[in-house]
A and B are shown apart, each in its own frame.
Chain A
Amino acid sequence: MKRRQGWLFFIIFLLTLSVYLLINYPLQLGLDLQGGSQLTLQISKEEGKVTKDELDAVNSVIDRRVNNLGVSESNLQTLGGDQLILELPGEQNPLVASRILGKTALLEFRTQKAGTSTDLKILQLQRLKIKEIFDQYSSSEKSQFDDNFFKIIQDDLKEVEQELNYSTTSSDLYGKLIEIKKYVDKEITNLFIKTDLSGKDLINAGRRQEQTNSNWEVLLTFSNSGGEKFAEITKSIAGTNQLLAIILDGESISEASVGNQFANTGITGGSATISGNFNAENARELEVQLKGGSLPLPIEIVETNTIGALLGSKNILKSLYAAISGLIFVGLFMIFNYRILGFVSVLSLVLYGFFNLALYSLIPVTLTLPGISGLILSIGMAVDANILIFERIREELYDGNTLTRSIDSGFQRANSSIVDGHITTLLSCFVLFLLGTNFVKGFAATLGIGVLISLFTSLNCSKTILRFFTTYQSLRQKNLFLPRNNFSN
C-alpha cells in the first residue's frame, strides 16, 4: 500500500508540473492554427546530391536575407537534405519574401567588348521598348482590355521581334513578352566580358534616394581587395567608349561609362552606386539580396501555404470542439459500460491529456491540424489499454475472485498484450516521422507520443487511482464495477 501511495504522490506531482509547464511555456501553434505563410524552398543542383556544406551555405544566405528583410518571428529550418522551410507567421505577404529569396543574386561586373557600341545601342533601344510594352500592359485598366488593345501590344511586339530578328515561340502574349525580354537580356550580357570582381567582393550594400529625382539608387561598398579590383577595371576602360555593366542573375541592371579623368588611377574609394530605375521597393529588395550574398546553388519555391489569421483561430475552435466532444462521449461510453472502472479511465484520460500537452510544450512539438487529429485519435487508443484491462478484471470477477485479486491479475495479465499491441502503431508512427513531410510529421509525433504516454497512464495511473478508490470501504462493491444485469448471466 505504501508503494501505491508513493505513486499517487508522484502522479499528483507530475500533474502539478504539467500545469506549471503549460502556464509558463505556452504551446506553439502551427501556421494552420495561428495564420501565416509557409514556403518550401527546393535547392536545385544539376548533378549529384546537395552536400551538407552546400545546404548549410544556402541556409545561411537565406537566413541573412530573411533577417535583413525584417520579418518578425520568422522560422527557417532544413528539411531532408535539400529543402528549406520558411515560416512567416501572421499577416505577412509571402510575395516579397518569395521575390527576394527566389533569386540567386549573383552580382557580376563586366566590361564591354571593344567595337560593340552599335550592337549595344540597338539592343538597349529594344529593351526600352519592351519595358514600355510591359508598363502599358500592366498599368492598363480592365475597360481597356479589348481586342483593339491586344492588337496594339501584339503589333508593338512584332516590331521588336523584327528589329531583333528573333521570333518568340510562347503560346500566349504574356509568355511572349517574357521570352523576348529574356532574349534581349542575354544578348546584352553577351556583349560584355567577365571580370574577377563579383558580389563576393562586397562588404555592404545600402540604398538612398537620388537627389535630382525621386528614383532610388543602390550603394555598394567593396572590401579592400574588391576596391582595388574595381579601380583596376575602371582604369582599363576609362575614357574609351566601352561601358561597365553591373549584371544581376544574368540581367544587366546598369551600363555606365567611366570618364577620362579616371584613366590614371581608376575609380578609387572602394564604393560604387547602381542607379538604374529603382523605386523604393526594388532598391530595398536588391539591398537585402546583396547584403545576404549570392546563393551557391539556385533555389526554387516549390510550395507556398498561406492561412488567414481568422481561419487559424476558427481551426483552433473547431479542433477544441472535436477534442472535447470526443473526450466527453468516450468518457460517457466508458462509465456506462464499466461503472467505477470507467470513471477511473476518465480520470486517467484527463491526466493523459495534461501529460501530453505538457510534453508538447517541453519538447517542443508545434501543434498543427494533423497533429491535433493525432492527439484526438490517440484518445481512443489510450482507452484501448483500459478496456483490455477492465475486460480481464471483469472475467476475474465473474470467476468469483475477490476484488483486490481481480484488479491485480487484471493489470498483470493484460500487460503484455497492451505493450505488444501498440508496437505496430508505434512502428507506423516511426516510419511516418522519418519519411513524412513536415505536415505528416506533426501527426506522427503526436500519435506516437500519445501511444507512449497512454502506456503510462493506462497501466500505472489507472492502477494507482483504482487502488486509491478501493481503500474506501463504500466503494468496494462488485455492483459498482459491473452493470448489475450482468450477474444474472
Chain B
Amino acid sequence: MKYNLELIKNKKKIIGFSTVLILFSLLGILYSTFNTSYKKPINIGMDFIGGNELRIERVCEAECSNLSPDSVFENLKEISKNKKVLNNLKLQFQNNNKLISIRTPYLSIEESNNLISNLDNILGPLNYESKDSRLIGPKLGKRLLTNCVTSLLVSLFAISLYITIRFDKKYALFALLALFHDLLIVFGIFSWLGIILAVEVNSLFAVSLLTIAGYSVNDTVVIFDRIRENLKSMKEGYNETIQLSVNESFRRTTFTSITTLIPLLSIILFGSYSLFWFSLSLSLGIIVGSYSSILLAPSLLLKD
C-alpha cells in the first residue's frame, strides 16, 4: 500500500488553505479582543481572573423538579445578607435539573458556605458528597496567568533552540513556522469558541498548548529526518525526493496521530468533565499538527 500525495502539484492549495486557517484564527482573536465583553484575545477563565465556581447535585426522589434559574436567583436575593455574592452570579441547571452549577466573583470560604446553605434552603436537599467547589483569589489568578505565559515562552524558546541546533537554518525555520501555525490555529479556534459558546480557557489550556508544541515538533522532526536521509542518496530531483519522503512517512505520522487521538477521544467520551476542553484542544492540536507536518512544512521546503 503505497501512498501518493501530490505535494508538488498542490503546493499552492496547501499554503492557501493554511493562510485561510490563520486568517480565520486572527479574525477570531481580533474580534475577541475588541468586540466582546471581556476584551481579551481569548476568553480567559476563572483560573486567571479569580472567582468562585460551584457544582453540586440535588437529592431528588424520582425526578428533580423544574426550577428556572431566575426564580432561584430571586429567592437568593431575598435571603442573602451579603449582596456582594449576588453581583454577576451565573446559575445553570444541568442533567435534568439535578446538577446546579454556579459562578460568582471571588468569595471567601465563609461566604461560599453561606451561599451553599442558602441554595440548600431553596433547592435542597443537596448532596454534599457530590460537591465540587473552587475558590480562586484574583491575586493568584494573575500569578497563574503570568506563570502560564512564562512557561509557554520558555518552552517555545527551548524547542526553537533545540531545532536550530539540530537542523540547518532553512529546516529549523520551517519547522518553527509549522509549530506556530499549529498553536495559532488552536488558539484561534478557542477564541471563536469563547465568542460563540462562552468557552473559557484555564491553566489546562496552556498545558495543552505546550503539549501540542512538543508533539507537533516531534512529528515534523521525523519527516524532516526522512527528507534529509533521502536527499543524501538522491535518486530523483529535489522536489520529487521531498514528496517521496513525505509519502514514506505518511503512514507513520497518521498512525501515530490516530493512536494518540484514540485515548483522547476516550477521555472526551468517558472522562471527567473537567478534562473535556483540555482533551478537545489536544485533539485539535494533534490533527492540525499532523496536517502541518505532513503537508505544510514539506511544501514550504519545495522549490518553485
Contact = CB atoms under 8 A, between A and B. Distances in A.
A145 B211 CA distance: 53
A250 interface: no
Interface in A15-74: 32, 35, 40, 42
Given A98-B109, A377-B260, A440-B207, A435 B137 contact: no
23 contacts: A145-B78, A304-B133, A306-B132, A326-B263, A326-B266, A330-B262, A333-B255, A369-B274, A373-B271, A387-B255, A387-B259, A388-B222, A388-B256, A391-B252, A421-B222, A422-B218, A424-B162, A424-B221, A425-B218, A428-B155, A428-B159, A440-B203, A440-B204
A94 B151 CA distance: 31
Most buried by A among B166, B217, B218, B221: B218
Interface string A459-489: 0000000000000000000000000011001
Contacts of A142: 78-79, 121
A308 B121 contact: no
A311 B256 CA distance: 33
Contacts of B113: 93, 95
Interface in A310-349: 310-311, 314-315, 318-319, 321-323, 325-327, 329-330, 333-334, 337
Nearest to B144: A437
A232 interface: no
Interface stretch (B31-39, B63-71, B81-89, B193-201): B81-89
B62 interface: no
B151 A35 contact: no
A42 B256 contact: no
B137 A311 contact: no
A42 B142 CA distance: 13
B139 A42 contact: yes
A376 B211 CA distance: 13
Interface string B262-297: 111111011110110011001000000000000000
Closest 6 CB pairs of A and B: A380-B260, A326-B263, A310-B129, A428-B214, A302-B137, A431-B155
A214 interface: no
Nearest to B55: A311
B267 A431 contact: no
A325 B151 CA distance: 32
Given A95-B109, A329-B262, A428-B159, A303 B129 contact: no
Contact of B132 (A307, A334, A383): A307
Contact of A303 (B136, B215, B279): B136
B98 to A, nearest CB: 13
A273 B27 CA distance: 69
Contacts of A304: 109, 112, 133-135
Interface in B117-151: 121, 127-137, 139-140, 144, 147, 150-151
With most chain B CB atoms within 10 A of its CB, the pick from A91, A327, A417 is A417
Given A370-B275, A440-B207, A301 B129 contact: no
A175 interface: yes
Interface of B: 1-2, 56, 78-79, 81-84, 108-110, 112-113, 121, 127-137, 139-140, 144, 147, 150-151, 154-155, 158-159, 162, 166, 203-204, 206-207, 210-211, 213-215, 217-219, 221-222, 225, 251-252, 255-256, 258-267, 269-272, 274-275, 278-279, 282
A328 to B, nearest CB: 9
Contacts of A489: 1-2
A333 B218 CA distance: 22
A439 interface: yes
Contacts of B265: 326
Contacts of B279: 373
B159 to A, nearest CB: 5
A472 B162 CA distance: 44
A422 B217 CA distance: 10
A486 B262 CA distance: 25
A420 B260 contact: no
B109 A308 contact: no
A432 interface: yes
Contacts of B275: 369-370, 373
A174 B203 CA distance: 34
A245 to B, nearest CB: 27
Contacts of B260: 377, 380-381, 384
B129 A486 contact: no
B151 A318 contact: no
Nearest to A140: B81
Given A329-B266, A388-B252, A303 B140 contact: yes
A172 B133 contact: no
Nearest to A370: B204
A376 B267 contact: yes
A90 to B, nearest CB: 11
A79 B282 CA distance: 27
A173 B80 CA distance: 12
A193 interface: no
A369 B272 contact: yes
Given A333-B258, A435-B147, 13 more contacts: A175-B84, A302-B137, A318-B272, A319-B271, A321-B270, A326-B262, A383-B259, A391-B255, A420-B225, A427-B162, A428-B213, A431-B151, A444-B207
